[in-house]
Structure 1
Amino acid sequence: MIRLAILDEILRAFLRHVTLLVFVVFVGVIASLVFALSLPRTYETMAVIQIEQPDIETASSTATANGQILQQLQIIEQRVMARENLQGIIDEFDLFDDLPSMTPNKKITALREAASVSQISDPALAWRPDVIPTALSITVALGNPDLAAAVANELVDNVVDQNRARREMRARETMAFFEGEEERIGAAIREYESQIADFRQKNSASLGTGITAQREELRTLRDAELVVSREILELNSGQRANSTVFANRVSRLEEQRNLLRARIDQVEVVIAAAPELERQLTGFERELRQLTDQYQAITRGRAEAEMRLMLQETERSESFFILERAVAPDEPVSPNRKKIALAGCILAMMVGVGLVYLMELRNPVIRTEAQLERVLGLRAVAVIPNVQVKRERLLSRMIWVTGVFVAVLIAMAIVVVISSS
């Protein structure tokens, strides 16, 4: 009984302040509906670019393809989201022109927040840092669905164009580099070959077969010197050593021996210079071998660059293809107007109930027999009923009709918001 009495008192309290309650709830619901409807809608759309691996693998792509593709993707993403590219998109589609207070920097920042480029990889290989993504997704969220789709497709075209242009530029730059290096090292090789040929020609006597001939000549000259020295010794030790004929003979033999010794000295100088000349020749040949190795490496690189350029021209290398273009979304992703309107209605009701409670606290009057008995512990001897006049009954009915009318309006407004969301 006590609980029923308390509920009855609460109900009577709300009835006493029904005008305030209806007014607060009505204003709160209308304000929440207006606020929910005034929030700008955001439409999100997405486009997908498929990444296809090269049909023909080059020598270097076997070892470093993953790293090259990942680096290329990062560079493309950075170029697509660069200030100059975004400014061009803003100017092309007149983005954010309805917000004249936005500066160019704020527009670029807003577009960067509205657009994003993300990689799509196999979830089973997500733990690998070098896994190659299979696709790129480009997401754009704007207030206009058609504009969001147009911007997303423009970014897709930019990614594809950036990829194609970058691969062509890299292939041609690599080709030009290897061609220049091949010409430079080829010229250096020809110069070294000419220097080695001149060096061999100038020092042919001390190099290779020439030094062997010099040693043979030195041995022959020393044998001849020994023979001449013996003849001179024999003539000087003979009985006719003082005769003019023998003196002339000895003089000619000594001249011959002097010539042999001079030639021997020359040959010895040539033989003595042979080690230093061999060392210099070895240095020249070592430099030539290094240049030759570099030339061979550059020739292989040039052949690979030619292969890449040919694959690029025939579109047989890794390529980006538009798998799915962005379409204008039918429904916005935010804000959720239903939840906002419902939360506003609940808040308005809570505020109305709170105001009713405050009004009751300001006027703590005992109005019923049950309240008197519960609060003071006294039983009422007699209860004088409250007799309403015709005017009061009419006012009470008007209040109830107004409350019902307001409730119907609130219900209709909620239905409109739900249907429009």
Structure 2
Amino acid sequence: MGDIDIRFYLSILLRRSPYFLAIVATVSALGIAIAYNLPPVYRASAKIMVETPQIPADLARSTVSTSSAEQMQVMEQQIMTREYLLALAEQLNVYGAKKSELSSSDIVDNMRSRTLFNEAEASRDGKGAMLFDVSFDAREPALAAKVVNELVSFILSKNQRLRTDSAGETMQFFDQEVARLGAELTGLESKILKFKNENKNALPDGLDFRRSQQSSQQERLLLLEREESGLRNRRNNLVQMYESNGQMITTGPVTIEQQMLQDLNRSLSEQLAIFSESSPNIVTLRSRIAALQGKSKQAEAGAVGIKKTGPTELDLQLSDIDERLRFIAQEKTYIKKNLVDLNQSISATPGNETQLNALERTRANIQGQYNNAIARQAEASTGEQIEIRSKGGRFTVVEPAIAPQKPVSPNRRRIVGASLAAGIGLGMGLIVLLELLNKSIRRPVELAQLLQVQPLATVPYIWVDGEKRTRNKRLAFMFVATASVIPAFLLGIHHYYMPIGTFFEKFVVALDSSRMM
């Protein structure tokens, strides 16, 4: 029982063969009609090569760093824009009289589906160049080639313009950067110069000199104070000596008493620097000086003195001393003022040094940026010249598009084969469906399964007279009715919807709408 009843299934297939053959014939005929009525589609292609730069990168480098694949992607995106596709379809009259029947969105979608960009299989040669295919599908070979050549021309011109524009923008950027940094550098240098002029006496580079000046001025002030002290002591001594002797020592011949008086006065001056007035030595010296002065006055009393009309020697010496003291006082005032200025400048130097260092650091940073911008500007200028002269990674046409000789679609054999396979599948599906819906008992095994017992014998169905003819007539009627549905459907479309020729054409176009309008 587990064996497959081949004879039973063959009998079913034979009994249902009219349905099977009708479906296979109908679907196959429809597939053949579609295959041979679909319009041919021609594909024209052109190859574009992205050349490597003609100048070695270690000598001069282009400022356009976009890779070949990225450049082609940019070109593809620009070509696929709505504005360009509509303009291209209008320029080349791609749709002809059908243009009025199509909306702008339909044209754009159809143009995008028919335009192909692919990297070629042998995309890299020995020099590292890349190849790209640009293709377009059309029902007319000449139109396909014309559209592809127009696309290639657009790609070449647009790529060159994009590269030169990019290099020009890079050059313009560095020109502006150099100008900006130059202006900042000039302004900062002016600010530094103004700061130095305003603080020229308190700059860090003159700090050592000002400190040496301060030290020398302080030493000079100390010497002047010592000299002033000595001059004041001398003046006091001269005045005391004059008050003690009543006269100054002359330069002419002197008597013994005068010589002794001079010696005693000198000794008195020396002793006064050591002892006080109450010292016995001082008292003794003053008494001896007084005695000698008395004798000297008595000796001179009888002589006829001639009264002098000019200044005395004491006046002259005191005048010299006073003049020197006035000069010392003026010089001390000048030195003290100078020391005050030096102290202020030395105190202000650390703060000025901090500000000046900050300005110098800023200038050094800007100077470094400026030098870098100058170097980049030179590179940008070289890169711009490379792109202007087309010495960079340019696009060139390796194979221009020509009108194709053979269509790429439709594949009529494949369509016919697919329709035949579909007909067979539908026919077999119908047979299976009919058998699943048929619940009648046709084999002894089915009767045994239904009764759950093994019958002793089975009697096959016995046809009575006229029953088989009635069944055949019914089957023939069903076949004719089924076969009449398709013509009736087509006639209804022709009379109530649109002419059958137009409908069939639209149906074919709808089948091909994914590729062509």
TM-score normalised by structure 1 residue count: 0.69
AA paired with 2:108? Answer: I
Q: Which residue of 2 aligns with 1:160?
A: 156
| Residue 184 (structure 1) shift | 2.5
- Is 1:204–2:200 an aligned residue pair? yes
The letter for the 2-side match of 1:90 is A
Structure 1 residue 291, shift from structure 2 partner: 2.1
Q: Does the 8 Å contact 2:123/2:130 carry over to 1?
A: no
| Residues 107-150 of structure 1 deviation map (CA, whole Å, 9 limit, x = unaligned) | 1122112212233477899xxxxxx7612211223333332222
- 2:182 maps to 1:183: no
Q: Where does the alignment leave 5 or more consecutive residues of structure 2 unmatched?
A: 240-314, 442-456, 462-517
Please say if 1:280 is aligned against 2:320: no
Q: Which residue of 2 aligns with 1:325?
A: 400
**SS of residue matched to 1:41:** coil
Deviations 1:200-247 (A, max 9, x none): 344333336643432232222111110122223334556817959467
What is the distance in 2 between the residues matched to 1:258 and 1:283?
38
Amino acid at match of 1:287: T
Q: Give the total of aligned pairs.
A: 359
Secondary structure, in 3 states, of the residue corresponding to 1:240?
A: helix
Match of 2:333 among 250, 258, 262: 258
Alignment match, 1:94: 93
Give the corresponding residue for 1:111: 111
Name the CA shift for 1:298/1:354 in 2 (closer, same or farther; >3 Å).
closer
* Cα distance change on mapping 1:11 and 1:300 into 2, 3 Å: closer
Q: CA deviation at 1:162?
A: 1.4
Once the 2 structures are TM-superposed, how far is the Cα of residue 356 of structure 1 from its aligned partner? 10
Q: Structure 2 vs 1, CA of residues 281 and 122 (structure 1 numbering), >3 Å: closer, same or farther?
A: farther
- For residue 223 of structure 2, what is the aligned residue in structure 1? 227
**Structure 1 gap ranges (5+):** 126-131, 365-373, 379-421
Amino acid at match of 1:103: S
CA drift at 1:194: 3.1
CA-CA distance at 1:50 after TM superposition: 0.5
- Secondary structure of 2:236's aligned partner: coil
Question: Is 1:193 matched up with 2:193?
Answer: no
After superposition, where does 1:15-414 map in structure 2 within 5 Å? Answer: 28-58=27-57, 68-97=67-96, 98=98, 100-120=100-120, 134-207=130-203, 210-236=206-232, 240=236, 245=318, 250=325, 253-345=328-420, 376=459
Instruction: Indicate if the aligned counterparts of 1:189 and 1:292 stay in contact, CA closer than 8 A.
Output: yes
Are the equivalent residues in 2 in contact too, given 1:58–1:308 (CA < 8 A)? no
> How many angstroms apart in 2 are the aligned matches of 1:21 and 1:189?
94
Contact 1:58 1:304 in 2 (8 A): no
- Between the aligned residues of both structures, percent identity stands at 24
Give the structure 2 partner of residue 407 of structure 1: none
From the superposition, tell whether residues 9 and 296 of structure 1 become closer, same or farther in structure 2 (CA, over 3 Å).
closer
Moved more, 228-237 or 349-358: 349-358
Would the aligned equivalents of 1:121 and 1:134 in 2 still touch at CA under 8 Å? no
Question: How much does 1:195 deviate?
Answer: 3.1
Q: Distance in 2 between matches of 1:197 and 1:25?
A: 101
Q: Name the residue aligned to 1:405.
A: none
* Residue type of the alignment partner of 2:143: L
Partner AA of 2:105 in structure 1:
N
The structural deviation recorded for 1:40 is: 3.9
TM norm structure 2: 0.58
Amino acid at match of 1:57: P
- For the pair shown, which has the larger CA radius of gyration, 1 or 2? 2
Give me the whole-angstrom Cα distance separating, in 2, the residues matched to 1:202 and 1:12. 119
My pick for the range that moved more, 341-350 or 29-38, is: 341-350
The 2-side partners of 1:377 and 1:223 are apart by 152
In the alignment, what sits opposite 2:468?
none
Q: CA RMSD in A?
A: 4.4
Return closer, same or farther for 1:191/1:233 CA change in 2, 3 Å cut-off. Answer: same
| Mapped partners of 2:10, 2:419: distance in 1 | 28
Alignment deviations for residues 237-270 of structure 1 (CA, whole Å, 9 cap, x no partner): 5681795946776565344323321111011112
